[in-house]
Chains A and B, each alone.
Chain A
């Protein structure tokens, strides 16, 4: 199976612009989560989508939004970019199921999109 893919891999924007990042999950995976990773804050959860519905949301401002399509592909959008939004944005997909030891929460991460805001 192909892994999680994210496009673009690198992006440079200026303050005030908006950006859309794309994620294609592993085939058959219906849950897609987005994370922001920065040197100072580590990896932080943004939101999770399952069957086109936002199921969980992290503690980020409303400038960060996302959506999921019927084929499970997901996009996240950041509006009115700020310098502090410079980060590696990671997408992860998972297929909740059982492993005989309770439900297994393994998430498969993509390579990320590195966003630089100037």
Chain B
């Protein structure tokens, strides 16, 4: 069973905010929400993670709902270089076993 559900694709205009949703309704109390992205022909790249509070770093912001059943990754000012597949995963910090689903293919358009 997939632990996360994401829309298969999204478009965003360059310079605008990209909001990528993720549903993880079966998340356990000790599981974190992690976001990675994979630009074409490259390995996945870590973006951000969180447990229950909203988080922000130099790349993005992560908004997790109070019930932790869903989250949104926000790229505040999307650029063409943000075109990639974005993966939302849930994992305990005890493990390094990442399993990515289909992800969301974000296309940033000029």
A residues lining the B interface (CB < 8 Å) = 4, 31, 33, 35, 42-45, 48, 55-56, 58, 90, 92, 94, 96, 101-112
Assess A105 versus B44: contact at CB under 8 Å? Given A44-B99, A48-B96: no
Does B97 contact A43, Cβ atoms closer than 8 Å? Answer: no
- Majority secondary structure, B binding face: loop
Assess A105 versus B99: contact at CB under 8 Å? Given A4-B43, A92-B43: no
What 1/0 mask marks residues of chain B from 78 to 95 whose CB sits below 8 Å from any chain A CB?
Answer: 000000000100010111
Does B51 contact A108, Cβ atoms closer than 8 Å? Answer: no
Please give the distance in Å from B5's CB to the nearest CB on chain A.
13
Does A104 contact B42, Cβ atoms closer than 8 Å? Answer: no
Among the listed B41, B43, B97, which residue makes an inter-chain contact with A48, where contact means beta carbons less than 8 Å apart? B97
Among the listed B42, B46, B93, which residue makes an inter-chain contact with A103, where contact means beta carbons less than 8 Å apart? B93
Chain B contact patch, size range: 20 to 34
Chain B contacts of A4 at CB under 8 A? 43
Assess A45 versus B44: contact at CB under 8 Å? Given A102-B51, A105-B34: no
Chain A contacts of B46 at CB under 8 A? 106-108
Among the listed A45, A102, A109, A112, which residue makes an inter-chain contact with B93, where contact means beta carbons less than 8 Å apart? A102
Closest 4 CB pairs of A and B: A109-B43, A43-B100, A103-B93, A45-B97
Among the listed B32, B49, B50, B96, which residue makes an inter-chain contact with A33, where contact means beta carbons less than 8 Å apart? B96
- Kindly state the separation between the CA atoms of A16 and B76 in the bound complex, as whole angstroms: 49
- Kindly state the separation between the CA atoms of A35 and B100 in the bound complex, as whole angstroms: 10
Does B99 contact A107, Cβ atoms closer than 8 Å? Answer: no
Asked if B28 CB lies within 8 Å of chain A CBs, one says no
Among the listed B43, B91, B101, which residue makes an inter-chain contact with A105, where contact means beta carbons less than 8 Å apart? B91
- Kindly state the separation between the CA atoms of A104 and B96 in the bound complex, as whole angstroms: 10
- Kindly state the separation between the CA atoms of A101 and B35 in the bound complex, as whole angstroms: 16
Chain A contacts of B103 at CB under 8 A? 42
Among the listed B32, B43, B93, B101, which residue makes an inter-chain contact with A90, where contact means beta carbons less than 8 Å apart? B43
- Kindly state the separation between the CA atoms of A90 and B94 in the bound complex, as whole angstroms: 21
* 15 interchain pairs, CB-CB under 8 A: A33-B97, A33-B98, A43-B44, A43-B100, A44-B99, A48-B97, A56-B95, A56-B97, A94-B96, A101-B51, A105-B34, A105-B93, A109-B45, A110-B43, A111-B42
